[in-house]
Amino acid sequence: MIYLNKTIETQLNHRSIRQFKDTPIEPETLDTLFKVANRTASSNGLQTFSIIRVTDRKKRAQIADICTQDYVKDLPEFLVFIVDAFRNAQIASEMGVDSDSKGDMDRFFQGFTDGAIAAQNMYTAIESLGMGAVYFGSILNDPAKIIEILELPKLTFPIFGIGFGYPSQDPMLKPRMDLSLKLFDNKYKIQNNYLNLIKDYDEEMQTYYDLRKADKPLDAFSKQVASALQDSNEKRSSLLNIIRDQGFNLKV
């Protein structure tokens, strides 16, 4: 028997929500959600991440332009999770410690992982309360501009954004690739013919209607992959340069 509880049922029915009711989220609810993020596990307990709640309409409009997603301007809540090695570097400095390791790649990936885990923990809590949310990896279309807008100091870096609120849409459950292509025992399993193995998934994906383009189903997954790999964003392709500019030592 498969054991389910309310949390797991919510997770198995996850959908990205992009349209929301014009209903503010209660301060007490927001406080609880931030506490959930704050209680998330972190690497070495160093908590190398921070969250910026963006309420300024001008900043929202600038970020919407970067994301090329106009609805960022009207989201009930919009957060940006960031790598934050700055805070701990300052704490160490006040303790008389100034080490090159403050901006090494270990510190960067600790912060990136801490922020991503905290965001997903918060996302699950959001959905468990009957709200909906959506990630915005698109803030990295121009990370240097995001850094400018949010006035991020050295040793910080944007990870992604999250918008959330009470849903005003009910999208279809988006199909997922079969777990046999993602879940392995003891070692990575290389398949001989991926196109053959995802044939049914390709067909299933073409029955899914994304509400952003509700008049036509999505392309087959294989076509989406090919298109994504051909559509390179120069600013996203040079992320390492921006990370270096933020004071992190890539050692490459």
Q: What is the DSSP string of 192-252?
A: S-HHHHTHHHHHHHTT---GGGTTSPPPPHHHHHHHHHH---HHHHTHHHHHHHTT-B---
Q: What span, in angstroms and rounded, lies between the C-alpha atoms of 249 and 155?
A: 10
Q: How far is CA 125 from CA 7, 41, 43, 80, 192, in A?
A: 9, 15, 21, 17, 40
Task: Residue 40: count other Cβ atoms within 10 Å of its Cβ.
Answer: 17
Residue 214 token pair: 């509700």
SS (H, E, C) 29-47: HHHHHHHHHHCCCCHHHCC
Decide if 249 contacts 101 (C-beta within 8 A).
no
Identify how many contiguous H helices and E strands the chain contains and give both numbers: 11, 4
Beta-carbon contacts of residue 10 (< 8 Å; ≥ 6 apart): 124, 127, 128
Enumerate domains of the chain plus CATH numbers: 6-171 (3.40.109.10)
Please count the CA atoms within 13 angstroms of the CA of 207 that sit on its side-chain side: 8
Task: Residue 90: count other Cβ atoms within 10 Å of its Cβ.
Answer: 13
* pLDDT value of residue 1: 60
* pLDDT value of residue 211: 63
Residue 104 DSSP class: B
pLDDT in tens, the chain (252 residues): 667 899 999 999 999 999 999 999 999 999 999 999 999 999 999 999 999 999 999 999 999 999 999 999 999 999 999 999 999 999 999 999 988 889 999 999 999 999 999 999 999 999 999 999 999 999 999 999 999 999 999 999 999 999 999 999 998 899 999 999 999 999 999 999 999 999 999 999 888 867 666 667 788 889 889 988 887 777 788 899 999 999 999 877
Element containing residue 52 per DSSP (H, E): strand 49-53
At position 140, the amino acid (one-letter code) is: L
Q: What span, in angstroms and rounded, lies between the C-alpha atoms of 61 and 82?
A: 19
